A and B are shown apart, each in its own frame.
Chain A
């Protein structure tokens, strides 16, 4: 930095180019975040790269350095090409689906109507749910013999249509993509909604007066306005599709056969099932690089757009009298001819609007309602053949067996059900600590980045932080496991807290930065002149102003922590530290029919806090999506 503080005298005085001296406070503010991210993400990423350059014998633990040998072998791996093809197909479906659906949601939720607040919350529910819970729900709905979809078909009198939905390979891939879309579309909707809300109302009014109808206005005004949002949404959606793992783990485990084995799953399989750590790491590194390329594209889109300079020239004085160009002979204004009389068209438009609103509501709420119904259904009803969704009775037994395991006779309660209360507690504890730490450190760092984003060191580290958000967890999880095992932290909540904090710090930093950017610098200066220290100015003056941002950031961090599955799966092995997604997944591994009831009760419990958050803090979530750094 010392080299850049001296400005050569000959350089033309360009505003903002003169390097500002950054007060030490700001270095101190970003230090903890950068250090944590470097240690907990940067080092493992390097380790993973090193791993991919070796071949490791899982039994003898002998390492053999092979250079790029693992990578060189990849092009010859037919399975890899097949997986790449499936990944591309899955990503294409997911991007198209989430974007189209997200657009419909956003347009709907941007309109003013009675019940908009409720619908906004309902639409968010599928996204707020843990992907494991989503997987549990849909894998039962699509299950072959007792599945919910087949149950409904039987109930409606179409038993011939019942089929093992996930049994056919290509159909399974499509259905998993559909579930992914169901889970992800709400977030795209939030991002598009943020874009729609930033659009000045006068644009549409002007276009209306200029004679453009609703469709024309959507094409000519709304779509171009949302272009940057759409572009970066499609990139984020692609990265998320590349990294999709939890839903696959729960629903298909890459099968049937290898029909849903996408790149991420292949890497996981190679590294953690076949214990070919080096080869697996190479596959996952390809995935990482793919994400990074997309992320850099994303930066190019999100990065400061070069605003064309305002030029005051070119405005000539108004010519008096007759000019060269005469007025064209315009035909007399004729209102457009209508296909339908106005009242009819109005009723149709209203009806169409409410029909779409109803469809969106059902799409979001029906599967969740089914989950709730199944959790209240006696466990024996869930394994009836032929399947039916109509319960013989409504019971709270499932909830009792997971919440009060002692109250149930031993044979009715499973081992797994007894683990639910502690896992909920673990999830809460981890989520609360992670949210608190992320908010505190993220606020400090976000403030520093908001005030000094022109300084090269800050600018660079800010983008580096965002890049770590694009790192697939699968690439990091093995070095994490090794590192935490060395530190004796395997199977502790501390390990989970440390890992979650470090991936969430970039998120919280970016979110808080965007909130601080909305606070005028004059407020800082006023506080400093009035005798505050920097820390006191931040605490007393700025924090109250950015409180909505703090709430939104805390919620996003809590939800991300609550819903995380992969790291919890790998870093914990006993119920002592296991969080609720791991316990839910455990139910499936045990595959005991009588535990479906408790499984759904536990799923409902796992979904309840995120859903409550979606309802209570919907407004903050919409705001939070504005910051543009939210992912997954």
Chain B
């Protein structure tokens, strides 16, 4: 397994830039997801790492070795394709053995390694079937088997779960995670499903329009989104954005407050560190574990909040919504960048406490 270093990589199709100055360092044995809306360049970047697409600028290094002039077949990188790309005329056994045969390994080694991969993935009963006889989940496992069988330097996966139905998708992603832990593989996983990325990854690289937006651990991306794009792309339902002055305390008019619906709930007695907004309840959406509330604020904007029980509220009633100030992100509305969390109310003791803690640590 290997580390992957991506330095100032850019790529364009003619005049159309698809990747712009990307910098990423993927550590050995790390599980990294490329996450973004379709067309953001995440699959292109994956294909660049594999060598199937050429980069227009920058460098990609595998364990420090520049891959610029190395064709895909000499990179020792495996890729699981979105459509699995199983060779249709070869049986499962031949599919898995194919990469090993290309290295001209002795037949005995090939056989032993295929048996290992088949057992690891629970494919032993399927070895003599042809891909047409396999279900989606089985094909997916065969594709993974063909990828890991030669112990590649890195395993790349291009939306490998997107063709599976929902329940299978959840099962397979757990299996992939376990496999990665067991083998200590470096995995790069492309997805547009934020939940998949959150659950699987050690770190997530959020991309938009060919530009890296944030590269951090999943909870950091969720709690401290680097900018408004990341904030609104991660989390469902989407983060609410309120004008800065709502918070009072001299917030600049050009700032925006990002509040996750899960942090915002109706209250009768707001705590001292809560930020509160007033509005009218317009819609109640019970979703099982939580209930979503659509609340229209005085300025006409709509925010989404959550409460545990739908029966305690009626549409049309006035509500006070509260959110702990510490979980509110503040964005600069001009460039969309996050400037930090909302500070506690001025003069509050808590602030001193934080200051003390900081001083103490220092």
Contacts and interface: CB of A to CB of B under 8 A. Distances in A.
- Judge: A and B partners, yes or no: yes
B138 A333 contact: no
A412 to B, nearest CB: 57
Interface string A206-220: 111111110010001
Contacts of B78: 209-210
A208 B116 contact: no
Contact of B52 (A208, A210, A227, A324): A208
Interface residues of A, number: 45
A316 interface: yes
Contacts of B73: 208-213, 336
B249 to A, nearest CB: 54
Nearest to A326: B116
Interface string B158-198: 00000000000000000100110000000000000000000
A324 B98 CA distance: 23
Contacts, number: 146
Contact of A200 (B85, B105, B129): B85
Given A210-B98, A225-B88, A327 B133 contact: no
A203 interface: yes
Nearest to B151: A330
Contact of B119 (A307, A323, A328, A336): A323
B89 interface: yes
A221 B90 CA distance: 9
Contacts of B124: 316
Interface in B283-307: none
Contacts of A224: 87-90
A202 B83 contact: yes
A310 B135 CA distance: 6
A308 interface: yes
A483 to B, nearest CB: 49
Contacts of B179: 318
A316 to B, nearest CB: 4
B119 A210 contact: no
A540 interface: no
A325 B108 CA distance: 13
A331 interface: yes
A325 B70 CA distance: 33
Contacts of A328: 109, 112-113, 116
Interface in B315-340: none
Contacts of B99: 209-211
A216 B112 CA distance: 24
B111 to A, nearest CB: 8
Contact of B103 (A200, A316, A333): A333
B72 A325 contact: no
A317 B179 CA distance: 12
Contacts of A213: 73
Contacts of B81: 202, 205-206
A324 B151 CA distance: 18
B87 A221 contact: yes
A410 interface: no
A24 interface: no
A335 interface: yes
Interface size range of chain B in the complex: 35 or more
Given A308-B132, A328-B113, A333-B150, A317 B122 contact: yes
A173 to B, nearest CB: 37
Given A206-B81, A209-B73, A333-B150, A227 B109 contact: no
A445 B253 CA distance: 70
B114 to A, nearest CB: 9
B122 A318 contact: yes
A335 B72 CA distance: 10
Given A209-B72, A209-B73, A335-B70, A225 B125 contact: no
A319 interface: yes
Contact of B125 (A208, A309, A316): A316
Contacts of B132: 307-308, 310
A311 interface: yes
Contact of A319 (B82, B98, B119): B119
B119 A308 contact: no
Nearest to B52: A205
B69 interface: yes
B90 to A, nearest CB: 8
B200 interface: no
Contacts of B312: none
Contacts of A221: 87
Contacts of A311: 129, 133-135
B182 to A, nearest CB: 8
Nearest to B120: A323
A342 interface: yes
Contacts of A324: 119
B126 interface: yes
A308 B75 CA distance: 36
Contacts of A209: 50-52, 72-73, 75, 77-79, 99
A212 B150 CA distance: 14
Contacts of B100: 330
A331 to B, nearest CB: 7
A196 B246 CA distance: 62
A10 interface: no
Interface centre among B73, B76, B113, B150 (most CB of A within 10 A): B73
A225 B89 CA distance: 7
Nearest to A342: B69
A420 B280 CA distance: 87
Nearest to A335: B74
Given A207-B98, A308-B130, A318-B121, A336 B74 contact: yes
B141 A315 contact: yes
Interface in A105-126: none
A538 to B, nearest CB: 34
A59 interface: no
Interface in A321-353: 323-331, 333, 335-336, 342
A330 B113 contact: yes
Contacts of B84: 202
B153 interface: yes
Contacts of A314: 125-126, 129, 138
A7 to B, nearest CB: 30
Nearest to B78: A209
A79 to B, nearest CB: 45
A211 B122 contact: no
A212 B102 contact: yes
A3 to B, nearest CB: 36
A14 interface: no
Interface in A284-334: 307-320, 323-331, 333
Nearest to A345: B71
B361 to A, nearest CB: 42
B133 A216 contact: no
B122 A333 contact: no
A373 to B, nearest CB: 40
Contacts of A307: 132
B343 interface: no
A310 B132 CA distance: 7
A319 B121 CA distance: 8
Nearest to B111: A328
A326 B183 CA distance: 12
A389 to B, nearest CB: 44
A63 to B, nearest CB: 56
10 contacts: A205-B50, A209-B50, A209-B75, A210-B98, A212-B73, A315-B122, A315-B125, A320-B178, A329-B109, A335-B74
Given A203-B87, A315-B123, A318-B179, 19 more contacts: A202-B83, A202-B84, A205-B52, A205-B81, A208-B73, A210-B150, A212-B102, A216-B102, A225-B89, A227-B89, A311-B135, A313-B125, A318-B175, A319-B119, A319-B122, A333-B152, A335-B74, A335-B76, A336-B73
Interface of B: 50-52, 69-79, 81-85, 87-90, 98-100, 102-103, 105, 109, 112-113, 115-116, 118-126, 129-130, 132-135, 137-138, 141, 146, 150-153, 175, 178-179
A-B interface, 4 closest residue pairs, ranked by CB to CB distance from nearest: A211-B102, A314-B125, A335-B74, A202-B85
